[in-house]
Amino acid sequence: MSGIGHLAAGFAAKPVEPKIPLWVFLVASETNDILYFLFASIGLEQKAVMTMDFSQGVKYLTPALNPWSHGLFMSIIWSLTAAFIGYLLYKDRRSSLLLGAVVFSHWLLDFLMHSNLPLFFNDSPLVGLGLENSGIGFVFMTIFDLVILAGAIFFCYRTKKRTALPVRP
Ligand SMILES: [Zn+2]
């Protein structure tokens, strides 16, 4: 549940650990949303029904609670799982920690955006700054998403070009 700004974490991480393919980082940055679509399709979580506009922000027409994909506790579990898989694949602590951090960045950005992220499961306290809940906050998050995404893509390709230079004859 959020914008394309999440991908920024993936683009920013790529030059830090070039041996991990970019698509792995991009998938990692959207892990929570991928799980949400998966869990919603098997009925474990409710599908969020909402309206979005720049004057009112996001209004949920049905209560959207997604503890399995977007709860803080499960997000930590998903991040640790990603770090563990990363360690099995790359046998490198730094790569695996970075992969876990990219997965967790999703929850942090959603924390700014939403106000309905469960700490644990159903009936646990809901957290989030909820910028989406007002028009001005929603506009801010949309611009913020685009700015961090553009910044991260720039960082990713500029670093690539620079590290590629010495290889040229
Ligand atoms: Zn999300």
Tell me: the pLDDT tens digits for 99-139? Answer: 999 999 999 999 999 999 999 998 899 999 999 999 999 99
Domain extents in the chain: 4-161
- Lowest mean pLDDT of 58-72, 76-90, 153-167, name the range: 153-167
Q: Which residue has the tokens 């770090």?
A: 83
Q: Give the pLDDT band (50/70/90) at residue 63.
A: confident
The confidence band for 168, taking pLDDT boundaries of 50, 70 and 90, is: low
Distance CA 140, CA 132 (A): 9
CA of 110 to the centre of ligand 1 (A): 6
Quick one: pLDDT band at residue 39, thresholds 50, 70, 90?
A: very high
- The CA 157 to ligand 1 mean position distance, Å, reads 25
pLDDT at residue 72 is higher than 80: yes
Element (DSSP H or E) covering residue 152: helix 135-164
What per-residue confidence (pLDDT) applies to 169? 52
Q: What percent of the chain clears pLDDT 90, i.e. is strictly above it?
A: 80
What is the pLDDT, as a whole number, of residue 131? 93
CA 87 to ligand 1 center in whole angstroms: 24
How far apart are the CA of 120 and the centre of ligand 1, in A? 16
Q: DSSP letter string over 55-75?
A: TTEEEESS----HHHH-HHHH
Query: Residue 24 C-alpha to ligand 1 middle, in angstroms?
Result: 17
User: Residue for token digits 């730094």?
Assistant: 94
Task: Tell me the DSSP string of 15-45.
Answer: TTSTTS-HHHHHHHHTHHHHHHHHHHHTTSS
Q: What is the pLDDT of residue 96?
A: 96
- Reported as half-sphere exposure (CB side, CA atoms, 13 A), residue 16 has a value of 16
The pTM of this model reads 0.90
**Cα–Cα distance measured from residue 74 to residue 82, given in angstroms and rounded to the nearest whole number:** 12
User: pLDDT at position 31, please?
Assistant: 96
Determine phi and psi for 161, rounding to 5 degrees: -60, -45
- Protein residues near ligand 1, an ion, with CB under 5 A: 1-2, 32-33, 110
Residue 66 has pLDDT above 70, yes or no: yes
pLDDT at residue 64 in the model: 76
Confidence of residue 163 (pLDDT cuts 50, 70, 90): low
Q: What is the DSSP string of 65-125?
A: --HHHH-HHHHHHHHHHHHHHHHHHH--HHHHHHHHHHHHHHHHHHHHH-S-EESSSTTSP
What spacing in Å lies between the alpha carbon of 6 and ligand 1's midpoint? Answer: 8
Within 8 A by CB and 6+ apart from 139, the residues are 54
Dist. CA 38–CA 87, nearest whole Å = 24
CA of 150 to the centre of ligand 1 (A): 19
